[in-house]
Structure 1
């Protein structure tokens, strides 16, 4: 073997190592991106399952629906706090 041939072999091996290193870096970036996408999908799946459970519970709910089946007269049309004050009669104002 000549020195030139050995140098050529070394260059070929170095080029292969460099190419392999670049491929590994690209694969690492792709894997990182895929992991991030899987995290997002898992978060979406968790939220979907939570909403599915809520929908199932609401479909099975047999209690009164305010403004449709509520058996008591509504004293106040407003938010829950205002309605609670009206029901208890404690408005904080003297009448």
Structure 2
């Protein structure tokens, strides 16, 4: 029996170079299962939650504007030595109000 020398330092891809697997019943079934599993995962990932539905109204531009204004408010509180504040969302007719207030220190 001839000795076969295994080269050291090869990556998995280098070791498998030139290897062709013959398709058997088992590998065919595994491929079919994998395809069926991917379709099921794709369908689940496309289902939207209730939160996703509500967030569709907030475009990137609106999110950016709200973020800039909240950062300005945070900086104003920081100048007043307030470290943390709360935000309340209220509806006033057809308007939405974001009210901020300093959090109470315990």
Q: The TM-score by the shorter chain falls in which range?
A: 0.3 to 0.5
Higher relative contact order (CA 8 A, sep 6+): 2
Larger gyration radius, structure 1 or structure 2: 1
TM-score, normalised via structure 2 length: 0.30
Q: Which has the higher strand share?
A: 2
